[in-house]
């Protein structure tokens, strides 16, 4: 199953400028999602002037949004909120114009609580990784 940005907006409440996934595809071992960082996103204007770097918290959000297809069915009528982040590590800078590829897989699903493992890469180089936990709540 593949979903483009418009189809993902049917599942997620995020909209521009906070919609941080362009395309997602469900695979046999998880989800692969892509997001191309715009050339002048709001979150790099002050981080850092003259040397724009995508903040780590935005990388976490890219990984989270890139993981939603893993629990698409559970999202019907609900939204996913962060419940926690564990063992998050940042290994490489991400800059405007970079295409971030997120590989995510389900770690556990216990009722309204979901945990995924995600990795973000640019040009095959690991940029960020971690375990992300979500709590599904009614909209």
The answer to whether 118 and 132 are in contact (CB under 8 A) is yes
Exposure string over 29-66, b if 16+ CB within 10 A, otherwise e? ebbbbebebeeeeebbeeeeeeebebeeebbbbbbbbb
Assess whether 47 carries a catalytic annotation: yes
Beta strands in the chain (DSSP E): 2-4, 23-27, 30-36, 78-90, 99-110, 113-122, 125-138
Residue in 23, 47, 92, 103 annotated catalytic: 47
Any idea what DSSP says for residue 29? T
Catalytic residues: 47
């Amino acid at each position: 199953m593949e979903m483009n940005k418009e189809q993902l907006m049917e599942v997620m409440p995020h909209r521009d400028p906070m919609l941080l996934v362009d395309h997602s595809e469900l695979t046999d071992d998880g989800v692969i999602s892509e997001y191309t960082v715009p050339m002048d996103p709001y979150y790099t204007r002050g981080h850092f002037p003259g040397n724009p770097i995508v903040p780590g918290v935005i990388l976490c959000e890219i990984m989270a949004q890139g993981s939603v297809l893993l629990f698409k069915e559970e999202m019907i009528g609900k939204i996913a909120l962060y419940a926690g982040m564990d063992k998050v590590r940042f290994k490489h800078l991400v800059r405007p114009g970079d295409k971030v590829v997120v590989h995510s897989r389900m770690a556990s699903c216990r009722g309204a609580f979901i945990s995924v493992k995600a990795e973000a890469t640019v040009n095959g180089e690991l940029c960020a990784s971690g375990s992300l936990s979500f709590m599904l709540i009614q909209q």
